[in-house]
Amino acid sequence: MNRKLTTEKKIEVRFGEVDSMRIVWHGNYIKYFEDGREDFGRKYNLGYLQAEEMGYLLPIVELKAEYKKPLKYGETAIVETNFIDSPSAKLIFEYVIYEEKTHDIICRGRSVQVFLNHSLQLQVSIPPVFREWKENWLH
């Protein structure tokens, strides 16, 4: 049985992240997803720099966000990042952003990344280093 790999990252909404209505501009949620992925990488040894040192780049090929409620200037959000296991050579993450005090869901999302080598060739087989990572963390 696979373990659930998840992180929670606190985000304090800054003035520069909101629009004229003082709600978070929609594009900033994508940045919050990135914050969640970076936090996940630190916790589970799956960071971008580590992947690059091992010979791989991890571009995003799919990204989805569903906005449920506005997040406002001065509020604090939690970005929950969940790793979704796949038999493919992909990194799949699902996100839930919720307001810290009320636990209201603000946004849900999903991203898919693929493995490229440094020549920008798609890796259709799971790279050995990623297979080892999965064996270590999921089982």
Distance CA 36, CA 78 (A): 9
Q: Looking at the domain assignment, is residue 1 inside a domain?
A: no
CATH number at 25 reads: 3.10.129.10
CB 114 within 8 A of CB 122: yes
Distance CA 91, CA 100 (A): 27
pTM attached to this predicted model: 0.93
pLDDT category of residue 84 using cuts at 50, 70 and 90:
very high
**pLDDT at residue 38 greater than cutoff 70:** yes
Distance CA 77, CA 105 (A): 9
The pLDDT of residue 111 is 98
The pLDDT of residue 21 is 93
Q: What is the mean pLDDT of residues 45-57?
A: 87
Number of domains in the chain: 1
**pLDDT at residue 36 greater than cutoff 60:** yes
Residues taking part in catalysis? 19
Q: Looking at the domain assignment, is residue 35 inside a domain?
A: yes
Return phi, psi of residue 44, to 5°: -115, 20
**pLDDT at residue 1 greater than cutoff 80:** no
Q: What is the span of the domain harbouring residue 26?
A: 6-138
What DSSP state is assigned to residue 26?
T
The tokens describing 17, both together, are: 């992240």
